[in-house]
Amino acid sequence: MAAPRWVARANKIGLNRVTQFIAPWAPGWAVVIHRGRKSGRTFRTPLWAFRRRGGYVIALTYGSDADWVRNVLAAGGCELESRRRHYQLGAPRLYRDESASDMPAFIRFMLRRVIKAPEFLNLDVLADLPTRAS
């Protein structure tokens, strides 16, 4: 069971506006840059993402039905800003892991005990992109 949708809406209005400035450089955080399936607009979604096995693993705290996840799956990838680096990601794969084994200890605890979010998205790094000026 992922976080409730009302939490996602509240975060979109408030918390995401703050974390979008922190996420591109803070450890454990990243910004996924994706295009809307219907609107074609570009969106920036701050989230927990960790470098693993030639790619990134993203904790799906709102589940796999979140709009950004559906956008990334439909497009076959996205861009990601993490630790002041910019990447092109592809080959998205959804998976469940009740133990959250790819996550650091604190995040694993949060995902298993507090948020109860066992879904993840794995993406391969296809290319390093030029870093965008802020």
Residues 6+ apart with CB under 8 A from 111: 59, 61, 100, 103, 117, 118
Interatomic CA distance for residues 33 and 31, integer angstroms? 6
Per-residue pLDDT band for 124 (boundaries 50, 70, 90) equals very high
**pTM (2 decimals)?**
0.81
DSSP conformational letter for 126: E
Q: Is the pLDDT of residue 108 over 60?
A: yes
The token duo for 9 is 């809406």
The kind and range of the H/E element at 108 are helix 105-109
Average pLDDT of every residue of the chain: 85
Instruction: Kindly indicate whether the domain formed by 5-127 is annotated with CATH number 2.30.110.10.
Output: yes
Answer whether 102's CB lies under 8 Å from 50's CB.
yes
DSSP conformational letter for 20: H
Q: What is the pLDDT of residue 88?
A: 97
Answer whether 61's CB lies under 8 Å from 3's CB.
yes
DSSP conformational letter for 115: S
Per-residue pLDDT band for 20 (boundaries 50, 70, 90) equals low
Q: For 22-79, write each residue's pLDDT tens digit.
A: 656 667 789 999 999 999 999 999 888 999 988 999 999 989 999 999 999 999 999 9
Cα–Cα–Cα angle for 53, 56, 62, rounded to 5 degrees: 135
| Strand-pair partners of 57 | 50, 122
